[in-house]
């Protein structure tokens, strides 16, 4: 639970966890619609697994279309963390793009947050930080 005094202007948000089973049987369009619906309700989504690379681009396209049409929506921050759990985050990242594009990796975690709340998702050798807007 984040203390209210640390949140500055942010009125409120919640973090929502979505197991992969919730999107496994959905088509690409439904998956993206579900993710964006959660994010549009001012939630930071933590999704088990990851989208296929073409679904990620579709997510970006649909996000841009919504920035154009939904008042006060400025887009999303997106990060995918993947690996088998036996090595550090940095090493997992250094494994490169090849492992990051397969899609459906249940060891992966996808973080999607509204840009009005999540300023940046910073990655460095030791940690991943969600920087929130004040």
Interacting residues toward other proteins by CB under 8 A: 53-54, 56-57, 60-61, 63-65, 67-68, 74-80, 93-94, 96-98, 100-101, 115, 121-124
Written as six digits, the tokens of 31 are 């998956």
Q: At its nearest, how many Å lie between other proteins and the CB of residue 49?
A: 15
Decide whether 2 or 65 has the Cβ nearer to other proteins: 65
Give backbone dihedrals phi and psi of 117, rounded to 5 degrees, phi first: -105, -50
CB 28 → other proteins: shortest distance, Å?
13
Q: How far apart are CA 43 and CA 57, in angstroms?
A: 21
C-alpha 99/C-alpha 91 separation (Å) is 12
Nearest distance from residue 95's CB to other proteins, in Å?
8
Please name which of 73, 58, 85 lies closest in space to residue 114, comparing C-alpha atoms: 73
Give the residue with the Cβ less far from other proteins, 21 or 87. 87
Q: Of 7 and 67, which has the nearer Cβ to other proteins?
A: 67
Smallest gap from residue 67 Cβ to other proteins (A): 5
Distance CA 97, CA 94 (A): 8
- Closest by CA to 131, choosing from 80, 91, 87, 77, is 77
Residue closer to other proteins (CB basis): 16 or 99? 99
């Amino acid at each position: 639970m984040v203390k209210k005094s640390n949140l500055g202007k942010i009125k409120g948000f919640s973090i929502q966890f979505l197991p992969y089973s919730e999107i496994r049987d959905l088509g690409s369009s439904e998956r993206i619609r579900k993710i964006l619906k959660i994010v549009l309700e001012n939630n930071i989504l933590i999704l088990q697994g990851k989208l296929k690379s073409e679904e990620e681009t579709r997510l970006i396209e649909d996000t841009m279309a919504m920035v154009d049409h939904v008042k006060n929506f400025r887009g999303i921050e997106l990060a995918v963390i993947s690996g088998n759990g036996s090595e550090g985050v940095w090493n997992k990242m250094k494994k490169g793009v090849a492992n990051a594009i397969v899609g459906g990796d249940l060891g992966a975690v996808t973080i999607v947050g509204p840009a009005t709340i999540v300023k940046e998702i910073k990655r460095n050798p030791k940690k991943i930080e969600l920087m929130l807007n004040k």
